[in-house]
């Protein structure tokens, strides 16, 4: 099949590359000429394990290409994926301007029937808006061409995006006409494993499914964070509690890890957007409002612990931070807890030496001008003369460090661990003031 992907960010690039990998011809479009130039020159604008090789292989095979030419891109694919950003508006609702701009471009340039697929995470009712936008644009041109709009939200996780796309748990497709359903069935046939992974449903249910999934996961995290904070005061160990409840199959072990708050491009904005959708319908969405509030507080948790240890005024203090990305295996800094922590430390007059194996460049771009923030070239160099080490992202390389060397580098043997990387009893035996989350 010939497929066009509109928007070549995380989701668009991974979707396009994986669809090419199974034999389709894919053209990825973006309005950002720098991004397309990088891709055309064989570079990858994001860090995603396995993606670079897969892009190269498919470009070499002539199945994958990149363009900024909107008319050519719309002409190319019988399926047009919309995978542009849907950032939060001022009131938290999803800003649909990029989605609707993409829809308008499709309407302006299509000359034969198309199936338009909303891949972006969009509020319920967006497929109708996309449909209306394309229809209005066609009418402006006096053109009468058939098209349908399908909802196909994406569930990939950054850091494991290729694996998630190639071996999905499920593929949600909201489609209401037979031709589109048949086309989607053919498109996703190569990704079926031992049983049918496609869940066909109506468009509105598909749109809501994506938000429901992210909101449920965010809820689990905020719940565990709150429980962890309570466990600290009660003298319980959240890690043992986690195992104790996870063994109940109704609860399960996944996604029960407390930490320094959730971030990234999806959970924060999708929770906000679902709250906004609720508000529009007259529903207070009390649970999700609390989930978000708890997360905002949790992002400051490590600083709260520092303040407890060193006092309110951190003027003249120097801290090391390990990990800046919102989670390991990505360079994504969107809504990362490290941003809140660094800003709060700067506000209190402390200086920071930060290290991240992959996200340092992106971190420089988004918060490089924060007063007192410096970047270290390796994890041990970050520790020199620091009053404490804060661990914000659980990169594998931080799992088994040389604790003697850490102790020798730090001014004081204090580790504030936002990701529960180490055994508290052992660290205390080694002479550290070790503070984790909920232990
Ligand atoms: P992104 O910001 O990485 O990529 C979006 C791309 O679209 C950018 O390169 C931008 O230049 C381009 N763009 C904007 N308007 C355009 C237009 N009119 N024509 C062509 N290109 C245009 O965003 P990301 O992370 O890929 O997210 C895209 C959507 O997928 C969002 O709705 C997001 O919520 C959703 N999503 C993201 C996931 C993630 O892990 N990043 C996972 C699942 C869904």
ipTM of model: 0.99
Ligand 1 center to residue 87 CA distance, Å?
9
Report whether residue 265 contacts ligand 1, using a CB cutoff of 6 Å: yes
Count Cβ neighbours within 10 Å for each residue of 197-220 and write b for 16 or more, e otherwise: ebeebebbebbbbbbebbbebbbb
Domains 2-201 and 220-435 equal at CATH topology level: yes
What is the pLDDT at residue 243? 97
Q: For ligand 1, pick from 10, 72, 127, 161 the residue to mutate: most ligand atoms within 8 Å of CB.
A: 10
What is the pLDDT at residue 196? 86
Residues contributing to the annotated binding site: 30, 35, 86, 121, 155-158, 210, 255-259, 263, 269, 327, 334
Atom of ligand 1 nearest to the CA of 156: 42
Structure pTM? 0.95
- Domain locations in the chain? 2-201, 220-435
Sign of CA dihedral 307, 311, 313, 316: negative
Report whether residue 329 contacts ligand 1, using a CB cutoff of 6 Å: no
Report whether residue 273 contacts ligand 1, using a CB cutoff of 6 Å: no
Contacts of 185 by beta carbon, 8 Å cutoff, 6+ apart: 198
Atom of ligand 1 nearest to the CA of 13: 26
Instruction: Specify the fold of 2-201.
Output: Rossmann fold (3.40.50)
The span from the CA of 134 to the CA of 149, in Å, is: 10
The residue from 266, 383, 386, 389 that is catalytic is 266
What is the pLDDT at residue 416? 98
Report whether residue 120 contacts ligand 1, using a CB cutoff of 6 Å: yes
- Mark the ranges of the chain whose per-residue pLDDT is less than 50: none
CATH number given to 220-435: 3.40.50.720
Report whether residue 303 contacts ligand 1, using a CB cutoff of 6 Å: no
Residues contributing to the annotated binding site for NAD(+): 30, 35, 86, 121, 158, 269, 334
Ligand 1 center to residue 28 CA distance, Å?
12
Any catalytic annotation for residue 18? no
**Atom 15, ligand 1: which residue's CA is nearest?**
98
Atom of ligand 1 nearest to the CA of 119: 30
Chain segment 386-422, per-residue pLDDT in tens: 999 999 999 999 999 999 999 999 999 999 999 999 9
């Amino acid at each position: 099949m010939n497929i066009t992907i509109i928007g070549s960010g995380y989701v668009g690039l991974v979707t396009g590359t994986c669809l090419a990998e199974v034999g389709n011809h894919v053209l990825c479009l973006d309005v950002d000429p720098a991004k397309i130039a990088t891709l055309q020159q064989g570079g990858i604008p994001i860090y995603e394990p396995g993606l670079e090789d897969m892009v190269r292989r498919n470009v070499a095979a002539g199945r994958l290409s990149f363009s900024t030419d909107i008319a050519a891109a719309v002409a190319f694919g019988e399926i047009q994926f919309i995978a542009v950003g849907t950032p939060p508006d001022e009131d938290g609702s999803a800003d649909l301007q990029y989605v609707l701009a993409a829809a308008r471009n499709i309407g302006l340039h299509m000359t034969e029937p198309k199936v338009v697929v909303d891949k972006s995470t969009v509020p319920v009712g967006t497929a109708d808006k996309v449909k209306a936008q394309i229809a209005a644009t066609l009418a402006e041109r006096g053109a009468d061409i058939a098209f349908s709009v399908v909802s196909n939200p994406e569930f990939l996780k950054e850091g494991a995006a290729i694996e998630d796309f190639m071996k999905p748990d499920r593929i949600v497709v909201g489609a209401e006409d037979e031709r589109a359903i048949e086309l989607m069935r053919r498109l996703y046939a190569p990704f079926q494993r031992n049983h049918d992974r496609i869940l066909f449903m109506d468009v509105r249910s598909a749109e809501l499914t994506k938000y429901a999934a992210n909101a449920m996961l965010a809820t689990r995290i905020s719940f565990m964070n709150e429980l962890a904070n309570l466990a600290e005061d009660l003298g319980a160990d959240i890690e043992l509690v986690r195992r104790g409840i996870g063994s109940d199959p109704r609860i399960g072990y996944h996604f029960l890890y407390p930490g320094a708050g959730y971030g990234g491009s999806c959970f924060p904005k999708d929770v906000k957007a679902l709250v906004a959708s609720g508000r529009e319908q007259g529903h207070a969405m009390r649970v999700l409002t609390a989930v978000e509030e708890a997360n905002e507080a949790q992002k400051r948790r490590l600083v709260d612990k520092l303040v407890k240890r060193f006092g309110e005024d951190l003027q003249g203090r120097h801290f090391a931070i390990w990990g800046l990305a919102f989670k390991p295996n990505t360079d994504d800094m969107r809504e990362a807890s490290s941003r809140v922590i660094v800003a709060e430390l700067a506000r209190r007059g402390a200086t920071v030496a930060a290290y991240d194996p992959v996200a340092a460049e992106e971190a420089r771009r988004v918060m490089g001008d924060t007063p007192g923030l410096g970047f270290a070239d390796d994890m041990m160099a970050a520790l020199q003369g620091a009053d404490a080490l804060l661990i914000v992202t659980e990169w594998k390389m931080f799992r088994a460090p040389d604790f003697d060397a850490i102790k020798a580098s730090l001014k004081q043997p204090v580790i504030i661990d936002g990701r529960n990387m180490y055994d508290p009893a052992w660290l205390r035996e080694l002479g550290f003031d070790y503070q984790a989350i909920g232990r």
